[in-house]
Structure 1
Amino acid sequence: MSFDLFLSWTAAIYWVVAMTLLAMSIVGTVLQPRIAARRAMRRDQPPVSIVLPVKLLEEGFERTQESALAQDYPCFDVTVSATEPESPAVASMRALFARHSERPSRVLLSTARFAASPKVDNLYAPFMQANHDVILMKDANVLLEPDALAEHLRQLTDDVGLVCAIPYCDRLDNFASHVEAAIINGPHARMLFLASCLGQGHGVGKIMLFRRSDFLRAGGFDAISHTVGEDNALAKAMRRIGKRPVFSHRPVRQELGSRAFEDVYQRQLRWSVIRRNDELLSFLLEPICQAFPAVIAGALAAPLIGWTPFSGFAVTFLVWFALETLLSMAKGWQLSLTAPAVFVVREAMMLAVWVNAWMTDRVVWAKDKVHARVAAQPAPPAQKEG
């Protein structure tokens, strides 16, 4: 067999695997809410402590944070944690608390400095001082529907240790935000939806719902403080004590607004480095979930069926783009007339991020450079700020 023929057959096999995975993940994305809802067996509604770590006051902050205070749920309180006693974000939260005076709420000052992730430092005080055993942590750019807490809690059955929700992006105000949404709503979301359909759960930190008693039994902060991927570390810790991580039947809405390309790149690089450190096999297989390698494989395999390389390239590109576009339309995700350009830029960025992730351990978190994995220090006592 000549080298050219060997290359064509190898590309053909790769193409078939990549396109099959694309089709399976699209079907999984459509079916996941129904399949996961059947596993949501919990019916009681215990009291819950909602934790909102804050740092930056970004566009849409007030709307997304107020959604946590407006939950249609019988008994919950809200704790804000911050590294500064006064900041624009804290001031905004105090104003929200005043508007919802019926809801028990407080601000805690996080002085802990022991973890690889500043976010974990910020979570130490509210997790340890929560009033209730069940805790829901929510990121600042996540918008909760009024029944979100009640619906996510249905997944927290006796054998489940961690409930996360698969994020999708909305309120896309510029080209860069459309590119980031194409990454998150595209390969990232599709593979998570497929994993959920297959009964697999992973840590995704936009929301995390768990019992503090399980968290402490799984090692507490010692189990998550070594990495900026605390969500994935928590999922692994729960598995070690026999508690499953699961994805909720409800996805969670992440509002992007306007984005800068540099911020989008750095955020994707951080997540990619985390996956390289914590889930190497998954990281190694990531290119097969991306369109660009499949397009190249289509071009190389095309002569096997009498097509020109350009025909294989073009058909693969158009089919992949069309299937993802139809999926976005079916899910009601925001699209724009620039979608073809977004698709091309997304593929270029994802490949660049994947390559770059091999060469660095320094990542950006909330505009600060941190190491993705370090030796953690013992946690100091948390201090309370009224």
Structure 2
Amino acid sequence: MRSPQPRRRRDAALPCGGPGDLRTRGLVSFLDVLTWAAAAYWAAAIALLIISVVATVLQPRIAEKRARRRDQPPVSIVLPVKLLDADFERTQESVFAQHYPRFDVTASAVDTDSPAARKMRELFARHPETPSRLLASTAHFAASPKVDNLYAPFMQAENDVILMKDANVLLEPDALAEHLRQLNDDVGLVCAIPYCAGLDNFAAHVEAAIINGPHARILFLASCLGQGHGIGKIMLFRRSDFLRAGGFDAISHTVGEDNALAKAMRRIGQRPVFSHRAVRQELGARRFLDVYQRQLRWFVIRRNDELLSFVAEPICQAFPALVAGALAAPLIGMAPVSGFAATFGFWFTLETLLSMAKGWQLSYAAPAVFVIREAMMLAVWVNAWMTDRVVWAKDKVHARVAAQPAPPAHEEG
């Protein structure tokens, strides 16, 4: 009796390389490419993080070597005024405490009877030794209300050298003298990198984590590499250069007037630079909506004026690197969750150590601040692709419009 033959498996009869096998191999190849791409992205993001942290520590010494100016010409300090915030009196009065031989102060406001304007008059009366005045701003030609407000004081300034300061910036007594050292013959614009202080609530800590974190690090790195950009917390320049670069017609088309001014100066061969001295920006208590709207305005400005840097901006943020770390972790035998956690811990620790080294304010809720910051920055970046409507000092404006020509100087009183 013939012994039964073993039953052949059906799948053994199927030819190799069928549609299912091809799909599997294609999926494996795609995952391999994705894993290696994630590893490359992770390495680039971590390298940029480390380099920018080092640059933030070294920038004051590197930039100070470029500060060659020694004379102290008379300066007109310009203060655009709108809202009376909690720290308004302290920050604006810091102007009058400057250890500088000759300067005058001009404030400008649309409403010269507003609470902020009345407070400026009190400060003027408190410091009669400093020539000062308040101008009514009536110009209406620019995309930015701030540019309209700056027209009168810029055009009527007593001196050629002008320092513009935002209302929430606190100047140290030697700030004017130190910033002026950077205004060399080949420099047309001196700005200072801001850092946030006076943080009174959780939302303020989130905004500080954005400004003191990726934003500041990249600006400090740019400065170390000899690059400068327009940052409008303070702007120091010569009016003669400003007019030669196109004056208000060169900056009136955008709410990013600081960046537009930097570009205008480059066109006439005058470099924008960052000072070796950072400036303290007082935040106080913030609302999350206001923080979001401010960040959206700055992101939209960068999208309009610096598209390449805007597109690359996520590489400065932690969240994409966390995802990349999770995807790349299997390459070194780690679980994805371990890669995510390790990247989170490294990024957070390095930024925390940097804040401690710089003396910047921290919170016990820093891990939660870090998480909310990353979520907000990603949401703002996505939103910035889809809008040109932004908020400036509680007013909704279009980030980029066809501005009218600037009026003749004599029309603004």
Task: Note if contact 1:81-1:125 (Cα within 8 Å) is conserved in structure 2.
Answer: yes
Partner of 2:193: 166
What SS does the aligned partner of 1:228 have?
coil
1:131 matched to 2:185? The reply is no
Structure with greater Cα Rg: 2
Aligned match of 2:20: none
- The one-letter code matched in structure 2 to 1:17 is A
- Give distance in 2, aligned partners of 1:379 and 1:137: 19
Distance between the aligned counterparts of 1:296 and 1:21, measured in 2?
Answer: 16
Q: Give the drift of 1:382.
A: 4.5
Counterpart CA distance in 1 for 2:132 and 2:412 is 16
SS of 1:2 mapped into structure 2? helix
Alignment-derived partner of residue 18 in structure 1: 45
| 1:114 corresponding residue in structure 2 | 141
Look up the match of 2:310.
283
Q: Could you tell me which residue of structure 2 aligns to residue 358 of structure 1?
A: 385
1:383 aligns with 2:412: yes
1:312 and 1:246 map into 2 onto residues whose CA distance is: 39
TM-score by length of 1: 0.99
Report which structure shows greater RCO (CA 8 Å, sep ≥6): 1
Aligned to 2:78, what secondary structure does the other structure show? strand
Amino acid at match of 2:87: G
Q: Which of 227, 251, 255 matches 1:228?
A: 255
Superposed CA offset, 1:112-149 (max 9, x none): 00000000000000000000000000000000000000
- Please tell me the residue identity of whatever aligns with 1:383: E
- What SS does the aligned partner of 1:254 have? strand
Q: Which residue of 1 aligns with 2:244?
A: 217
Residue 314 of structure 1: CA displacement? Answer: 0.3
Q: CA contact under 8 A between 1:42 and 1:153: conserved in structure 2?
A: yes
Across the aligned residues of Structure 1 and Structure 2, the Cα RMSD in angstroms comes to: 0.6
Does residue 105 in structure 1 map to residue 160 in structure 2? no
| Equivalent residue for 2:226, pick from 180, 183, 199 | 199
For residues 238-317 of structure 1, what are the structure 2 equivalents within 5 Å? 238-317=265-344
Letter in 1 for 2:226: G
Find the aligned partners of 2:98 and 2:247 in 1 and give their Cα distance: 27
Q: Which residue of 1 aligns with 2:173?
A: 146
Deviations 1:203-238 (CA, angstroms, capped at 9, x unpaired): 000000000000000000010000000000000000
Percent of aligned pairs sharing the same letter:
82
AA matched with 2:364: L
- Tell me the equivalent position of 1:76: 103
Shift of 1:379: 2.4
Amino acid at match of 1:59: A
Q: CA separation in 1, counterparts of 2:242 and 2:147?
A: 13
Other-structure match for 2:21: none
In 2, Cα distance between equivalents of 1:64 and 1:189: 21
Report if the CA contact (8 A) 1:169-1:333 is conserved: yes
Q: Is contact 2:112–2:118 with CA below 8 Å preserved after alignment?
A: no
Where in structure 1 do 4 or more consecutive aligned residues deviate above 4 Å?
Answer: none
- Counterpart of 1:53 in structure 2 is 80
Report SS of the residue matched to 2:312: helix
User: 1: distance between equivalents of 2:367 and 2:55?
Assistant: 24
- State which of 348, 371, 375 in structure 1 corresponds to 2:398: 371
Which of 19, 28, 50 is matched with 2:55 structurally? Answer: 28
Task: Indicate the residue corresponding to 2:9 in structure 1.
Answer: none
1:131-180 Cα offsets, whole Å, 9 max, x none, are 00000000000000000000000000000000000000000000000000
Provide the rounded CA distance (Å) in 1 between the counterparts of 2:113 and 2:70: 40
2:411, 2:221 → 1: CA distance? Answer: 39
The equivalent of 1:44 in structure 2 is 71
Contact 2:94 2:172 in 1 (8 A): yes
Distance 2:185 2:137 in 1: 31
Deviation at 1:85, TM superposition (A): 2.1
Q: Is the 8 A contact 1:125 1:382 kept in 2?
A: no
CA contact (8 A) 2:68 2:182 kept: yes
CA contact (8 A) 1:110 1:382 kept: no
Aligned residue for 1:163, secondary structure, equals strand
What amino acid is aligned across from residue 158 of structure 2 in structure 1? N
Kindly tell me the number of residue pairs found equivalent between the two proteins. 384
**3-state DSSP class of the match of 1:363?**
strand
* Cα-to-partner distance string for 1:40-71 (whole Å, 9 max, x where unaligned): 00000000000000000011000000001111
CA contact (8 A) 2:209 2:370 kept: yes
Distance 2:145 2:95 in 1: 22
Contact 2:229 2:273 in 1 (8 A): yes
Contact 1:116-1:371 at 8 Å conserved across structures:
yes
